Structure 1
Amino acid sequence: MQRSNRKDSLRTRFARWDDGHESSDSRTRRTFLRGVAATGATGIGLTSTAGAASEPYSQYEGDYRNVVDVVDAGADNTGEESITPVLEDLRADNTLLVFPEGRYYMDEQFRFTGFDNFGVVGDDATLVPANYHDFAGPQYRLFRLGVSYSPGSHLRFEGFDVDQRAPDTGIRVIEANAADRLEVRDVTVYGEHDSGTWGPGLFNVTDPDGWGIVERFRAPHGGAWVNNTPHAGNRWRGPIGIEANQNAGTLEFRRCWLGGFPNNGLYAAGGGGTIIVHGGLYRNSNGANVRVGGQGSKIRWPTVEVDETRPEDKTQRGIRIENGKNVKIHGAAVEITSPKPTSHAISVMNSCESARIENTRVELRGSDVNHGLVLSPDCGETVIASTEISHDTAGGYPLWIRDSDRTEPVLVEHLSISGAAGDGGGFRDGIRCERDNCRFSHVDVSQPGRDGVDRNAIVNTGSDLTVYRSDLRASQYPFVDLGADTLVRDSVLESSGDNEAACLYASAEDPTFKKNKLVDGIRNLGANGVTTWENNHA
């Protein structure tokens, strides 16, 4: 009965956290994140087993030759004795190990590789790791199922709570490499990962034709920096929340939740396979909260929040995409209210060959300088569509397209930028466009400036920029041109600071303005080849 009460307490606390964020600004956050799919806190509700056991777990009948109740086989479910020796005796191919209700103490790793079909499932089961000092052998993992050079073929692991609330009990729950099929579901880690060893989960599909899903893997309390743990000096930074950097197949992370980890939250940027992130909540990790690469990878409907910064945290980016091609971000909600100077909301890195960001909302607030969407100099073709950025910081660029020698186009359409930011660090433009061959269509930029500072809507230093059917308003200049061959047409440009609609510097060459509303006209500081046609200056 006491174990049951303890489990109920754990689940009650998690359910409160899962249902909503119990903080003073929870209503604001929920409003910002409206429409984002919520992650359920319920377990898988296993009720049956197959095979030689009994009626329970019948849903697995036919999937395994052997279905074994680990308690019937001698495993202690009171949390007093280590179960690893029993698991070692039960290890066999084409086998499902079933954990009935109870607490299962583990003080050494269980390892099984090269299998064809193996599963581990829990029914109201809690794993209890030994502390760092008492853990035998490698102090890194509870379950190591498949390795890169000898993966399993089919693997199932689901239905466990992991109680890491006692000091120094943080450990990797599962490390899994499967060639054909990987299924991990409903694993919840309670307590901070505080031992400094590898983070809660590592997953890879090793065959290009294989697939996997990691669903509702949750570690909401994050991990400690390594120098604050008994593993100090042995690692850089500390644990990663979920790692998948050798994936070759298709691997989906569905409705996973991670708290703040010191070395990235979800880190799935290596390997040549496809990563899918669907939903979930990722909060306060250092490095990046969601870091993804791969071919045709997709990040769909995640919620990313940064509202806490520890003294050791240096960067807390929202989403970072890299090492891939045709990477898509769709329906993301990114909110950063505790920014660091390089904590961009979304970063498209140099190694990203092509990307699309659409139907995404970004909100940045705070007293520090911070940027929104940042396209690195060597990234490839990028499309930003139907996206909103609210930017209320001490300074920074809501959209920064950095200087590049690459010629692939950047297309921005149906983008809305709002908020009153400052000019800290000299970053005072709504859109900073430093790259050639960019197209802005149906862009709405409002930059009123914080506390009377001068902000510009768009500043262009590149060549061959087109601005079409856009609404640009700013406290200083709606449009500033220092580049070449710019075309602005069918747009509205208006300054709230008694300035002209556009400012053309001497370096600007051959700018063209057609059929615009240019309130108070154009300020020309020596630009060459200026063309105007049918503009309204009223």
Structure 2
Amino acid sequence: MSEHRGDGSDRIVTRRGVLRGLGGVLAAASFAGTASADKDWLNVVKYGADPTGGESINPVLEELPRDDDTILYFPEGQYLMDDEYRHVGFQGFGLSGDDATIVPDPEYDGRWLFKLGTYNQPGDDLYVEGLDFDFTTDHTGLRAVQAQVSDDLLVQDLEVVGQHDSGKFGPFLFDVTDPSGIGSIENVRIPEGGEFSKYTPSDIDVGPTGIIVSPSHEGKLWVRNCEVGLWPDNGLYCSTDSGRVVVDGGIFKNCNIACIRLSGDYSSIHDATVVVDSHREDDSNQRAIRLDGGAYNWIEDVEIRLSEPNGHAISILNDVEWARIQNTNVTVDGHVPTKAISVSPEAGKIDLINTEIEFNTPGCAFHVKGPSSPDADRVSVLKSSITGSGDGTHGRHAVRIERGNGEFDRFDVKQTGTDYRRAIKILGDGCQFTWGHYYATHIPIVNEADGTTFHGITTRSLDGDEGMKVLEESADVSISESAVYNGVWEYGDVDVTYSDNRFL
């Protein structure tokens, strides 16, 4: 709700929002910020800014008052900027546009447009909304907004038009520096991405990143309904160790390194769509999601589609202490070898729940590395499935379990591809398989581990081979109450216990 005043400025009382908690970790959190205080709105045009794009507005911005609880209002128009606007240590500040477009001067040689707070001089209570940034001119592209605040950050409805092809910093960086601080980034659109630096006038490493959450972030930040695409050095890159980032909705496409690269304790992704359906010559590894580290990372209700794979759908790296993938659909098509889910050897506990993977390309749909010890951090798979026509040309097994102590309950695998395609190979000791269905062109299950137990499973070769192969390196294998088509191939001197099975 706003009040218009006759002296060229406005006063606004903004809404009080409520950021909902996720997964019961944060039941509810109030977003105070701009919502808790009256703001003086300063109409930049009435203070002399040119809305036609003919004259730089930087001299006007530098002369405007920098009192606390102030919002700079940009009416409809185009605004030329040829320098950085920097404001730190504020208590209540904002930028608001009404069909307003910021146009960087092609001759401007800096790296920022709006630098609002720094990691050692953060502001507090920042509101930025309704601005477009025009990067359509050749060799343009800057850090449009860098916002580092201790608490109360609200960013809404920003868009970058055109490709970022200057070789400078990517358009957005957002941090909440206080561990108890909170912020929300909503409806930020950067779909046209950036150019690799080798083709630009400048020389940052690889190329720009779309949205960065830096190591200075220690609070809680929501990223809601954003559109991110075609960035050379990650789409959304969260490099915080202790801060929390929650991605809620949005679409992320065709970024190099990762479309979403997540870290931080209790960081998570919900209801988002991640797509890789094209790549440029320099796109070397386009992972959909990369989990870098955190005490608990959660992927829930996410749709991942790789029709032109150039990297894994989900990579879980060594510094992740616990990750959960739940109610998620992954589809991998094409003819390029890849992995749907890859778990690094030193990653901690992994849960895969109610998740469906359709894997129609060569490679390993689910690859778990790690110590084969029966007391290793557990990988738990519950009510999940892998289907598709992936073949065995670059790895025979759709699932490869190298880590011990795994638990696989109602885990169904069906692979219909050629070249000796198999369902699963077990190399980790002490794994348990219950009530799953395993179908593959060749032998579905190959066990090369000690202490594996199978209970209530069904295993069948679509080409009439044995339902299971137990290699001579195996010991103390137990098969009970299971349906095994064409028997078990005991390769060498093995130790298998059978109980109440059906051999069909």
TM-score bracket for the superposition, by shorter chain length = over 0.9
The offset of 1:93, in angstroms, is 2.9
Deviations 1:373-419 (A, max 9, x none): 111100000100000101111x1111111133671111001111111
CA contact 2:393–2:419 (8 Å) conserved in 1? no
Structure 2 CA distance for aligned equivalents of residues 49 and 507 of structure 1: 81
> Kindly tell me: are residues 93 and 358 of structure 1, through their superposed partners in 2, closer, same or farther at Cα, counting changes over 3 Å?
same
CA contact 1:269–1:323 (8 Å) conserved in 2? no
CA contact 1:355–1:381 (8 Å) conserved in 2? yes
Q: List, as ranges, runs of 4+ consecutive aligned residues in structure 1 with deviation greater than 3 Å.
A: 46-62
Partner AA of 1:399 in structure 2: F
Query: Secondary structure in 2 aligned to 1:180?
Result: coil
Please tell me whether residue 334 in structure 1 is matched to residue 304 in structure 2: yes
Structure 2 CA distance for aligned equivalents of residues 58 and 272 of structure 1: 33
**Larger relative helix fraction:** 1
The offset of 1:435, in angstroms, is 0.3
**Partner residue of 1:238 out of 167, 187, 207:** 207
The offset of 1:259, in angstroms, is 1.0
Q: After the TM superposition, which of the residue ranges 524-533 and 463-472 deviates more from structure 2?
A: 524-533
Structure 2 CA distance for aligned equivalents of residues 155 and 209 of structure 1: 16
**Partner residue of 2:403 out of 435, 460, 474:** 435
Please tell me whether residue 193 in structure 1 is matched to residue 167 in structure 2: no
The offset of 1:354, in angstroms, is 0.5
**Partner residue of 1:135 out of 75, 100, 108:** 108
Query: What residue in structure 1 maps to residue 46 of structure 2?
Result: 72
Deviations 1:52-106 (A, max 9, x none): 5467856479734532110001111001111111111114132111111111111
Please tell me whether residue 464 in structure 1 is matched to residue 437 in structure 2: no
Query: Secondary structure in 2 aligned to 1:350?
Result: strand
Please tell me whether residue 408 in structure 1 is matched to residue 374 in structure 2: no
- Where in structure 1 are there 5+ consecutive unaligned residues? 1-45
Deviations 1:411-432 (A, max 9, x none): 001111111112233x121211
Query: What residue in structure 2 maps to residue 93 of structure 1?
Result: 67
Structure 2 CA distance for aligned equivalents of residues 527 and 228 of structure 1: 61
Structure 2 CA distance for aligned equivalents of residues 48 and 345 of structure 1: 49
Query: What residue in structure 2 maps to residue 508 of structure 1?
Result: 474
Deviations 1:206-252 (A, max 9, x none): 00000011111110101000011111xx2210100100022100011
Structure 1 CA distance for aligned equivalents of residues 494 and 299 of structure 2: 40
Deviations 1:27-58 (A, max 9, x none): xxxxxxxxxxxxxxxxxxx9865795467856
Structure 2 CA distance for aligned equivalents of residues 266 and 186 of structure 1: 17
> Kindly tell me: are residues 332 and 122 of structure 1, through their superposed partners in 2, closer, same or farther at Cα, counting changes over 3 Å?
same
CA contact 1:50–1:61 (8 Å) conserved in 2? no
Partner AA of 2:501 in structure 1: N
Query: Secondary structure in 2 aligned to 1:362?
Result: strand
- Where in structure 2 are there 5+ consecutive unaligned residues? 15-33
Deviations 1:337-364 (A, max 9, x none): 1122xx1100111010011100001111
Please tell me whether residue 147 in structure 1 is matched to residue 118 in structure 2: yes
Please tell me whether residue 382 in structure 1 is matched to residue 350 in structure 2: yes
Query: What residue in structure 1 maps to residue 241 of structure 2?
Result: 271
Structure 1 CA distance for aligned equivalents of residues 198 and 142 of structure 2: 16
Query: What residue in structure 1 maps to residue 324 of structure 2?
Result: 356
CA contact 2:299–2:324 (8 Å) conserved in 1? yes
Query: Secondary structure in 1 aligned to 2:428?
Result: coil
Partner AA of 1:485 in structure 2: G
**Partner residue of 1:300 out of 270, 280, 292:** 270
Query: What residue in structure 2 maps to residue 12 of structure 1?
Result: none
CA contact 1:344–1:374 (8 Å) conserved in 2? yes
Query: What residue in structure 1 maps to residue 392 of structure 2?
Result: 423
CA contact 1:504–1:527 (8 Å) conserved in 2? no
Task: Show the 5 A alignment for 1:273-292.
Answer: 273-292=243-262
Please tell me whether residue 474 in structure 1 is matched to residue 435 in structure 2: no
Query: What residue in structure 1 maps to residue 95 of structure 2?
Result: 120
The offset of 1:463, in angstroms, is 0.3
The offset of 1:460, in angstroms, is 0.2
Please tell me whether residue 531 in structure 1 is matched to residue 497 in structure 2: yes
Partner AA of 1:308 in structure 2: S
Partner AA of 2:63 in structure 1: D
Query: What residue in structure 1 maps to residue 462 of structure 2?
Result: 496
**Partner residue of 2:55 out of 72, 81, 93:** 81
The offset of 1:271, in angstroms, is 3.2
Partner AA of 1:288 in structure 2: A
> Kindly tell me: are residues 200 and 365 of structure 1, through their superposed partners in 2, closer, same or farther at Cα, counting changes over 3 Å?
same
**Larger relative strand fraction:** 2
The offset of 1:269, in angstroms, is 2.8
Percent of aligned positions that are identical: 36
Query: What residue in structure 1 maps to residue 145 of structure 2?
Result: 174
Task: Show the 5 A alignment for 1:14-29.
Answer: none
Task: Provide TM-score, normalisation by structure 2.
Answer: 0.93
> Kindly tell me: are residues 91 and 238 of structure 1, through their superposed partners in 2, closer, same or farther at Cα, counting changes over 3 Å?
farther
CA contact 1:64–1:96 (8 Å) conserved in 2? no
The offset of 1:124, in angstroms, is 1.1
Partner AA of 1:208 in structure 2: P
Query: What residue in structure 2 maps to residue 391 of structure 1?
Result: 359
Partner AA of 2:148 in structure 1: N
CA contact 2:183–2:221 (8 Å) conserved in 1? yes
Query: What residue in structure 2 maps to residue 313 of structure 1?
Result: 283
Structure 1 CA distance for aligned equivalents of residues 6 and 453 of structure 2: 72
The offset of 1:528, in angstroms, is 2.5
CA contact 2:392–2:422 (8 Å) conserved in 1? no
CA contact 1:509–1:527 (8 Å) conserved in 2? no
CA contact 2:13–2:37 (8 Å) conserved in 1? no
Query: What residue in structure 2 maps to residue 214 of structure 1?
Result: 185
Structure 1 CA distance for aligned equivalents of residues 396 and 161 of structure 2: 43
CA contact 1:269–1:321 (8 Å) conserved in 2? no
> Kindly tell me: are residues 51 and 476 of structure 1, through their superposed partners in 2, closer, same or farther at Cα, counting changes over 3 Å?
farther
Deviations 1:257-276 (A, max 9, x none): 11111100100132311110
Please tell me whether residue 445 in structure 1 is matched to residue 437 in structure 2: no
Partner AA of 1:299 in structure 2: I
